[in-house]
Amino acid sequence: MNAVAIQIVPPTREYAITLLRGGFRSAVESLPEELVSLSEMELEIKRTPSEVDYLLRRNFWKQVDLAQKGVIPYINQVDVYFGACSDTNFESRVLKSPIRLAWILTYPSTPDDLMETGLNIALKNMIKFVSREPTSETAGAFMKAVDILLNRVKGPIIQKIQAQHAHLNMNKPIASHASDPNKRIEELKDKLVSRDVTPRSGNE
């Protein structure tokens, strides 16, 4: 019998809020919409999380998980800040810091999510870079960036074919313009014409 893969769906923020009580819930429900709508990375741009923040978020979502499994009926505030900070600091510094609280309420990204996000950001920045006319100072970086984008678009199969061709042609005379960076740049730019190098998410 083939094993059936079970996809674990992370709990939503809305569900987590229903588990809160007292001042904790009031603080969460009063968060401004412009913060609630931001992603984890967008919040981190506005404020870098501290070690305490990571501990609080770990504790918080651990309690949500326990509630989802029916172990506890609701989240007790002390179980969130215990081992991370004092009750006073939680009340005065966390609950009264909207951006900090909004980040704690974002479900932690998996390593794969972070890697995919980072890759997309890097590719977008590379596309911006190669869209500018290269100079003598940026020629080397330009060619390397274009090569990376072409490899992403063409895929590993085409790369293997090209590697085989390169091996077969290794004894052929080198073209006279191979060492000319300007001509190499033009060749790479021609290869990019009509190619879509827009980063794609893993779901596409």
Quick one: tokens of 144?
A: 């390397």
75 C-beta neighbours (distance < 10 Å), count:
23
Please tell me the pTM assigned to this model: 0.56
pLDDT digits (tens, 9 = 90+) for 78-130: 999 999 999 999 999 999 999 999 999 998 876 555 555 556 666 677 777 77
**pLDDT, position 134:** 80
Q: How far apart are the first and last CA of the chain?
A: 30
Contact of 149 with 126, CB cutoff 8 Å? yes
Contact of 119 with 148, CB cutoff 8 Å? no
Look at 191 and 186; give whichever has higher pLDDT: 186
